[in-house]
Amino acid sequence: MMSDNDYISEVYYKIPGDPVEHRLRWMNLHPSIAERKTLKKYKNAEILYTSTRPASSIDKCIPPPPDDFKFARFKVKTRKNRFGREVSAPAEEMDFDG
């Protein structure tokens, strides 16, 4: 389940004999745990550094909304019934062309 406070831990590492720096991304893991999982996955890896950042909508695989997208707005009237409790009337969609 995705929430608003998701974050990405990126672990940069090097493998002996390979001159290229590699990156592995972990979601919602503490940086030290992400480093341990990276070392478990790649036994001889040398951890260079770790960075942490908030997850973007691209990281969460959320597509952008269509160009003509607008949020729906509703107006709900409440009234008290004969027992004194608040009761909601059926919702009406508000039309804003602005």
Q: Which residues have CB under 8 Å from 9's CB, separation 6+?
A: 25, 26, 27, 29, 30, 31, 34, 50, 51, 52
In this structure, are residues 54 and 28 in contact, taking their beta carbons and an 8 Å threshold?
A: no
CA dihedral 82, 86, 90, 93 (to 10 degrees): 150
pTM, full prediction: 0.62
Distance of alpha carbon 62 from alpha carbon 32, whole angstroms: 28
- The pLDDT value recorded for residue 96 is 62
Question: pLDDT category, 28, cuts 50, 70, 90?
Answer: very high
In this structure, are residues 45 and 15 in contact, taking their beta carbons and an 8 Å threshold?
A: yes
- The pLDDT value recorded for residue 40 is 96
| Residue among 25, 55, 28, 51 nearest 38 (CA) | 25
**pLDDT digits over 31-77, tens only?**
999 999 999 999 999 999 999 999 888 888 888 889 988 887 878 88
